[in-house]
């Protein structure tokens, strides 16, 4: 693997880290104060900084370092993540994403904005850091003491041990910054060959330090596991090396431990500078594998026996923290092995359980998208060939009982399972797209002076990656429109009895084999009088046109239509909602508007889960073969003469269970024939469209139900009104896939021509 490939992997991981960063910041913004959320945010920035440093991306490293420092203040509870703090951090996350994209694609970022945010982050870190009232309590000048757990009726009560706090006559040393380091290893640290004692020894080389070992987590012998880390350390370190030098000691172990570094007294050295070197009177031998000198004084013989029993059992059964236990063991060598066997047995069982849990973790691999696309295309061709083979066998086997026929049925089932499995590989949650919208909302809100809150639901709803990739552009336009046009200013909202903060809700869910995405706002709703007048002024409708509320709402999808009073960087140029409509239709979807004046608007997009295959019903209309998406069909009917009723000059209704439904001649709508066919001689398909109610589509006959592979008609021919796509049937013929919503809209008198269509609602 060459360096370019490694770099590409780094940028792919950056995308994941940036998504994790924004997700965590949004949780904090919603009031989540879980320490793990803060740690996840910190780790994301730290990972990006570390990788960027390996590739010499200095701008990215510099910004990430300042961002990381401020996040560390939050992590150590020195900075409260209030609304104003999080506002700066969310903007910083945006800049971090811009810097990452610029490093990958060779673009540029707004340097003035970056410098301003660096100043704001530094101000947060420096201004909010409290001055510690006192450094760690001095230890009485005596020999270092180790106090081991004391046995009582309730079990073992661990008592911490500490090393001597050395004094010095050097005034400069006493003025050095003092850091408090909390170091808690995880079991993985020891499993990977790291040693806590060696890390502490390296840390001691940075300056004078005192150590406090916390053994509160040490269990009783029958519960002790040899692969579990129980000890943690609190270190007070006087050093002129700075925080970066401290973290460098734990650089290769930071993900396998909980590490917190905080400045408790003095001033940290500026980046890249060090205070004058001073002698450090710390005896490194105290951290050697074989400590020297007396470790402690134990007065009661009974306590000594209990303490030694714990040490021996821990050393025998638990390999973790072995060096620390050896230091305690060297204080008193009296053997006591009474419970070691039981501890080792329990520890072995615990280790086996942990190993089983680890093996249950689901492994993942990163696969190039082109390979998945090729696999999907090949599976599509397999489906077509399987259908052709089945068709040939059916035509040559009138009885349909041959072994070949039975084998083909099994092949069909296997082909379907393979196709479903391959499609599942491309299925991804819409979360990345939804997270991207958070930044759009923040930027537009700042530009318009509005207070906006974005709420997302159903982020884990999965859809084909092709759909996700093409969903970002229409959603961006809709978000901008909702914030700029839909929501009122804080003053107007307060005057209307609403809260000053507007709400935009973005929701995704599965419905009838499709994904439905709703964008709702609690703004003023669509001003229908203004929209109607604008349409009249633009000669889109006649002044005396009688339009329903739905038809007026759908006027906003006309190209060049805008109700903005003035042109701005956000809107008013007539580009936006017509792009949304075309993008959604290009995905085989539809969009519907529901607006209530004074209460807001809801835009509903219905999209296919995949652009590769669909389940459809093959029908015949005027000697043409069409495919109707199965998700749109409610039921099929054989019309009777008594159930058909005329309405108006050329409209017909069909009676279905004491209700009337419009009857639509598909052949007449598509101009396959000049006159309407007799409904009694055909079949009616009761369909349901988004926002358009139910219609009965009249076709000549039903050939059957099958899964078809979608082929783009626009890419291979041209756009045909009323037709969504095409497919290849088992006999090799090309069949057109019906656009049910456009047909339903045309039945209400709306034109099939794309440039004249008002059928956004279906």
User: For 739-752, what is each residue's pLDDT tens digit?
Assistant: 887 888 787 765 55
State which of 146-155, 398-407, 525-534, 543-552 shows the largest mean pLDDT: 525-534
* Pair 235, 315 in one domain: yes
Higher pLDDT, 9 or 369: 9
- The CATH number of the domain where 600 resides is what? 3.30.565.10
Query: What is the C-alpha to C-alpha distance for residues 490 and 487, in angstroms, rounded to an integer?
Result: 9
pLDDT band at 353 (very low <50, low <70, confident <90, very high): very low
Query: What is the C-alpha to C-alpha distance for residues 438 and 240, in angstroms, rounded to an integer?
Result: 42
Q: Is the pLDDT of residue 519 over 90?
A: yes
Look at residue 690 in the predicted model and tell me its pLDDT: 59
Count of domains in the chain? 5
Tell me the average pLDDT across 134-148: 37
Tell me the average pLDDT across 550-563: 77
* Pair 255, 322 in one domain: yes
Q: What angle do CA 598, 602, 608 make, to 5 degrees?
A: 175
Higher pLDDT, 178 or 396: 178
**Cβ-based burial of 374 (10 A; exposed 0-12, middle 13-18, buried ≥19):** exposed
Residue 134 is assigned to a structural domain of this protein: no
Residue 119 is assigned to a structural domain of this protein: yes
* Pair 520, 646 in one domain: no
- The CATH number of the domain where 95 resides is what? 1.20.120.160
Last residue of a domain, one of 557, 588, 608: 608
Q: Is the pLDDT of residue 142 over 60?
A: no
Residue whose structure tokens are 């050095």? 176
Q: Is the pLDDT of residue 351 over 60?
A: no
Residue 393 is assigned to a structural domain of this protein: yes
Query: What is the C-alpha to C-alpha distance for residues 615 and 727, in angstroms, rounded to an integer?
Result: 12
Look at residue 562 in the predicted model and tell me its pLDDT: 67
Tell me the average pLDDT across 632-653: 85
* Pair 581, 706 in one domain: no
Residue 17 is assigned to a structural domain of this protein: yes
Residue 456 is assigned to a structural domain of this protein: yes
**For residue 587, which of 743, 722, 690, 466 has the smallest C-alpha distance?**
466
Query: What is the C-alpha to C-alpha distance for residues 126 and 124, in angstroms, rounded to an integer?
Result: 6
Residue 212 is assigned to a structural domain of this protein: yes
- Could you report the per-residue pLDDT of 101-140, keeping only the tens digit for each? 898 888 788 888 888 999 999 889 886 543 333 333 333 3
Structural domain that includes position 399: 369-428
Between the CA of residue 675 and those of 465, 645, 650, 722, what are the distances in Å?
43, 17, 10, 18
Q: Is the pLDDT of residue 520 over 90?
A: yes
pLDDT band at 618 (very low <50, low <70, confident <90, very high): very high
* Pair 424, 437 in one domain: no
Which of 291-295, 496-500, 573-577, 720-724 is predicted with the least confidence, judged by mean pLDDT?
291-295
Q: Is the pLDDT of residue 16 over 70?
A: yes
Look at residue 568 in the predicted model and tell me its pLDDT: 53
* Pair 390, 476 in one domain: no
Look at residue 505 in the predicted model and tell me its pLDDT: 94
Look at residue 155 in the predicted model and tell me its pLDDT: 40
Q: What angle do CA 453, 454, 457 make, to 5 degrees?
A: 140
Residue 364 is assigned to a structural domain of this protein: no
* Pair 453, 442 in one domain: yes
Residue 141 is assigned to a structural domain of this protein: no
* Pair 203, 318 in one domain: yes
Q: Which two tokens stand for residue 533?
A: 């007048």
Give every strand in the sheet of 613-621, ordered side by side: 701-709, 613-621, 624-629, 734-738, 723-728
Last residue of a domain, one of 357, 381, 396: 357
Q: Percent of the chain beyond pLDDT 70?
A: 74
Tell me the average pLDDT across 439-453: 88
Q: Which two tokens stand for residue 407?
A: 């084998």
* Pair 121, 174 in one domain: no
Query: What is the C-alpha to C-alpha distance for residues 64 and 70, in angstroms, rounded to an integer?
Result: 10
Last residue of a domain, one of 590, 608, 626: 608
Give residues with Cβ within 8 angstroms of 84, minimum separation 6: none
DSSP state of 277: P
Q: Percent of the chain beyond pLDDT 90?
A: 11
* Pair 343, 469 in one domain: no
pLDDT band at 508 (very low <50, low <70, confident <90, very high): very high
* Pair 334, 435 in one domain: no
* Pair 310, 229 in one domain: yes
């Amino acid at each position: 693997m060459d360096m370019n490939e490694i770099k590409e992997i780094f940028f792919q991981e950056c995308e994941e880290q940036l998504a994790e960063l924004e997700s965590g910041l949004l949780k904090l913004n919603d009031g989540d104060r879980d320490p793990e959320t803060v740690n996840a945010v910190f780790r994301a920035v730290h990972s990006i900084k570390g990788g960027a440093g390996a590739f010499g991306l200095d701008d990215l490293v510099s910004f990430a370092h300042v961002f990381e420092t401020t996040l560390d203040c939050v992590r150590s509870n020195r900075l409260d993540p209030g609304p104003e703090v999080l506002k700066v951090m969310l903007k910083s996350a945006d800049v971090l994403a811009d810097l990452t994209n610029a490093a990958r694609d060779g673009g540029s970022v707004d340097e003035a904005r970056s410098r301003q945010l660096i100043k704001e982050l530094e101000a947060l870190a420096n201004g909010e850091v409290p001055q510690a009232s006192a450094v760690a309590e001095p230890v009485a000048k005596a020999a270092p003491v180790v106090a081991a757990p004391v046995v009582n009726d309730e079990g073992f009560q661990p008592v911490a041990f500490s090393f001597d706090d050395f004094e010095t006559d050097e005034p400069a040393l006493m003025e050095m910054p003092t850091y408090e380091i909390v170091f808690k290893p995880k079991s993985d640290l020891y499993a990977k060959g790291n040693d806590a004692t060696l890390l502490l020894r390296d840390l001691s080389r940075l300056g004078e330090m005192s150590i406090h070992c916390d053994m509160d987590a040490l269990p009783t012998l029958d519960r002790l596991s040899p692969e579990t880390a129980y000890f943690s350390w609190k270190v007070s370190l006087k050093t002129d090396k700075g925080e970066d030098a401290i973290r460098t000691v734990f650089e290769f172990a930071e993900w396998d431990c909980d590490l917190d570094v905080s400045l408790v007294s003095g001033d940290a050295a500026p980046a890249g500078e060090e205070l004058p070197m001073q002698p450090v009177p710390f005896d490194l031998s105290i951290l050697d594998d074989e400590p020297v000198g007396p470790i402690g004084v134990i007065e009661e013989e009974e306590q000594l026996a209990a303490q030694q029993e714990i040490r021996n059992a821990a050393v025998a059964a638990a390999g973790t923290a072995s060096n620390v236990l050896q230091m305690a063991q060297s204080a008193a060598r009296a053997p006591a092995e009474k419970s070691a066997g039981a501890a080792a047995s329990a520890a072995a069982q615990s280790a086996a359980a942990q190993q089983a849990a680890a093996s249950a973790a689901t492994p993942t691999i990163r696969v190039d998208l082109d390979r998945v696309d090729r696999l999907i295309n090949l599976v599509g061709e397999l489906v077509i060939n399987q259908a052709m083979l089945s068709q040939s066998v059916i035509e040559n086997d009138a009885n349909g009982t041959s072994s070949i026929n039975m084998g083909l049925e099994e092949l069909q089932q296997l082909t379907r399972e393979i196709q479903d499995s391959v499609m599942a590989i491309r299925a991804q949650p819409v979360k990345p797209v939804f997270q991207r919208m958070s930044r759009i909302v923040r930027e537009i809100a700042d530009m318009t002076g509005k207070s906006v809150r974005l709420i997302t639901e159903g982020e884990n709803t999965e859809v084909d990656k092709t759909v996700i990739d093409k969903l970002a552009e229409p959603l961006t336009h809709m978000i901008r429109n909702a914030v700029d046009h839909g929501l009122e200013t804080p003053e107007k909202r307060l005057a209307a009895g609403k809260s000053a903060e507007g709400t935009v809700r973005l929701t995704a869910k599965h419905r009838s084999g499709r994904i439905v995405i709703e964008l709702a706002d609690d703004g003023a709703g669509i001003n229908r009088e203004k929209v109607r007048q604008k349409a009249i002024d633009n000669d889109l409708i006649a002044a005396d046109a009688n339009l329903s509320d739905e038809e007026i709402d759908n006027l906003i999808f006309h190209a060049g239509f805008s109700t903005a009073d003035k042109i701005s960087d956000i809107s008013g140029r007539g580009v936006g909602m017509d792009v949304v409509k075309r993008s959604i239709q290009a995905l085989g979807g539809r969009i519907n508007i529901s607006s209530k004046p004074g209460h807001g608007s809801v835009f509903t997009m219905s999209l296919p889960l995949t652009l590769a295959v669909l389940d459809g019903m093959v029908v015949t209309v005027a000697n043409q073969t069409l495919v109707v998406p199965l998700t749109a069909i409610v039921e099929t009917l054989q019309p009777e003469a008594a159930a058909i009723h005329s309405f108006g000059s050329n409209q017909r209704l069909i009676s279905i269970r004491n209700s009337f439904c419009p009857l639509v001649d598909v052949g007449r709508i598509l101009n396959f024939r000049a006159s309407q066919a007799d409904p009694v001689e055909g079949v009616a398909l009761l369909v349901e469209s988004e926002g358009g109610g139910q219609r009965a589509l009249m076709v000549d006959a039903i050939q059957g139900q099958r899964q078809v592979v979608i082929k783009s008609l626009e890419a291979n021919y041209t756009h045909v009104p009323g037709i969504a796509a095409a497919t290849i049937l088992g006999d090799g013929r090309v069949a057109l896939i019906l656009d049910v919503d456009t047909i339903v809209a045309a039945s209400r008198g709306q034109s099939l021509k794309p440039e004249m269509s008002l059928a956004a609602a279906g």
